[in-house]
Chains A and B, each alone.
Chain A
Amino acid sequence: MGLKIELAQIRPKLGDVKLNLEKHLEIIKSSTADCVIFPELSLTGYILRDLVYEVYKESEKAIERLLEENRCIIVGLVKETRPGILRNATAIIINHKVDYVYKFYLPTYGLFEERRYFQAGDPKKDLKIFEYRGIKFGVVICEDAWHYEPIQALTLMGADAIFIPSASPMRRLSAKLWIEDSWEALLKAHSLINGIWTAFVNNVGSQEEEFFWGGSMIVSPSGEIVTRAKLFEEDSIITEINLDEVRKNRFFSSFREHNRDFYDILRNL
């Protein structure tokens, strides 16, 4: 018995929550998966700039509509966590109930300017484990997978799968994408070290001058890419993830050897 997850690699229209919600519903209604996962900020688009102030309310409202659907749904939105404070959020909807996780690491370098708009999540409150059909999972957003701790913490808290809604823009176009190589390496490392399934769900297509490359993928706890969505096009892939693969890793790895003393050192650095 496993959990069938669908990675919905969509091209949201920047700022058009109404249209994006329709697209979400269309995919959810026709999906045969248990859990449908959309990319980062899937309801609003990513390169929002100051448009963020115009779309956050509508994106929060869209969640109410999605709550009517009887399924596990993971979508990206902008959430006002207290008046005037916005966060880059992902809603996890299970059995008509919603909970939110927030991005911890807000990229503010190169083309990214998230700290201009968002407040970072608080690890002490916002690391959450969810369970659906016997699989415990956590959700981290894009940049959080470029650090060890968020995924490591969720795994040690009990997650056997980590879903990573993302908005990764293409940089350095060539036959083999540098950014795709990087993501493969990251996902494989997280999966191998933690004995977990990792599922990367990317946006696709153009938003302003940027272009999201798609290439969503699922990596098994053995570090194998088991499914992969198309590059540069909207696509959807369904994969069943199970606990047997998790066991295969953890029986024959040192994942159980967690030495907390390292954290005492890290904390004081």
Chain B
Amino acid sequence: MPGYVRQKLSLDFAEVTKYLTRRIREYIEESGKDGGIMGLSGGIDSSVTAILLSKATKNFHILLMPSSSTTKKDMEDTMKIIQIINAEDKYTLINIDNITEEFSNDVKTTDKVIIGNIKARIRMILLYAFAQKMNYLVVGTGDKSEIMLGYFTKYGDGGVDILPIGDLYKTQVRMLGNYLGVPEDIVNKPPSPALWEGQTAEGEIGLDYETIDSILYLRFEEMREIEEIEEMTKTDATKIQKIIKMVKTSQHKRLPPEIFRLSGRAINSDWRYPRQWG
């Protein structure tokens, strides 16, 4: 990561922590819910989100939803986080292999990507069922890098009520993790959705997150030209183009479904109200 970008992405993480926990607390209050629930995978994003959530409210619950593609190391790491946030009596463990198998059999597929997305959506269903039972909100764990790249499952890990770290790049989430005392091996672990064995984000995308974040920041926040980004990040133009293309082609995942206009006031188009309406 170019020093210039690192400096731009470095924040006062004590302030960031204060701010984000306050926002989580206020959102829960304003939505009339009693608390928040989230899935913990043992990765950096959910570890950081879990700590923020535990700081925001005592009323939280953690779901651990491993499958056959969850590594032993990830399971151990989830338990480390559970200890850090004193959640020994605030978590539920559900293995999703049986449900996944039933879905996959019904769809008659062995495709690892389709099955991977089924897993992400099963987790969403479980989170919402628990949330409804407890009158909690579903707290998402996606970060800005993943959301921009569209590197998430629509209505899977994308199906949540709030995204507290959704405006922090992966690199910044790591910095925040360090500040919050997330164990170093969790911070430095290669990010993975673990939807199938051996899957890593950086392997799939073909670039490390420090470079990805530099490209995202320079292109979409500073609106720099590709040649300039090539020079600054010492990255091939074709790889930069690939990242930009991922952002562009995944826009539908970040927006609500398109509603075809018929009336004089169509929802989202010219009928726009805040979430806090009534």
Contact = CB atoms under 8 A, between A and B. Distances in A.
Q: Do A and B bind each other?
A: yes
Contact of B270 (A53, A111, A178, A208): A111
Interface stretch (B104-112, B141-149, B174-182, B254-262): B254-262
Interface string A170-184: 111100001000000
A110 B266 CA distance: 10
Q: Report the interface size class on chain B.
A: 10 to 19
B269 A172 contact: no
Nearest to A179: B264
Contact of A210 (B223, B265, B269): B269
Contact of B258 (A53, A110, A172, A209): A209
B263 A172 contact: yes
B260 A211 contact: yes
The size class of the interface chain A forms with chain B is 10 to 19
A171 B258 contact: no
Main secondary structure on chain A at its contact with chain B? loop
A173 B258 contact: no
Nearest to B267: A209
B241 interface: no
A171 B223 contact: no
Nearest to A172: B264
B263 A209 contact: no
Interface string A150-181: 00000000000000000001111100001000
Given A110-B270, A209-B266, A209-B268, A170 B223 contact: no
A213 to B, nearest CB: 11
Contacts of A171: 261, 263-264
Contacts of B266: 111, 209
Contacts of B260: 206, 209, 211
A170 B263 CA distance: 9
A111 B268 CA distance: 9
Interface in B225-278: 258-266, 268-270
Of the listed residues A178, A206, A209, A210, the one surrounded by the most CB atoms of chain B closer than 10 A to its CB is A209
Interface in A192-230: 206, 208-211
Please report whether the interface of chain B is mostly helix, strand, loop or mixed according to DSSP: loop
Contacts of B259: 209
A258 B57 CA distance: 72
Interface in B175-214: none
A170 B260 CA distance: 11
A234 B260 CA distance: 19
Contacts of A110: 265, 270
B269 A209 contact: yes
A209 B267 CA distance: 10
A178 B265 CA distance: 13
Contacts of B262: 172-173
A171 B270 CA distance: 11
A170 B270 contact: no
B261 A209 contact: yes
A178 B263 CA distance: 11
Nearest to B263: A172
B261 A169 contact: yes
A208 B257 CA distance: 10
A170 B270 CA distance: 13
Interface string A89-129: 00000000000000000000011000000000000000000
Contacts of A211: 260-261
A227 B102 CA distance: 62
Contact of A53 (B223, B265, B268, B269): B223
Nearest to B259: A209
Interface string A43-54: 000000000010
A178 B262 CA distance: 12
Nearest to A211: B261
A1 to B, nearest CB: 44
Contacts of A173: 262-263
A130 to B, nearest CB: 35
Contacts of B261: 169-171, 209-211
A178 B264 CA distance: 10
Nearest to A47: B269
Contacts of B270: 110-111
A47 B214 CA distance: 29
A78 B269 CA distance: 22
Interface of A: 53, 110-111, 169-173, 178, 206, 208-211
22 contacts: A53-B223, A111-B266, A111-B269, A111-B270, A170-B261, A171-B261, A171-B264, A172-B262, A172-B263, A172-B264, A173-B263, A178-B264, A206-B260, A208-B258, A209-B258, A209-B266, A209-B268, A209-B269, A210-B261, A210-B269, A211-B260, A211-B261
Given A172-B264, A173-B263, A206-B260, 9 more contacts: A53-B223, A110-B270, A111-B269, A111-B270, A171-B263, A171-B264, A178-B264, A210-B261, A210-B269
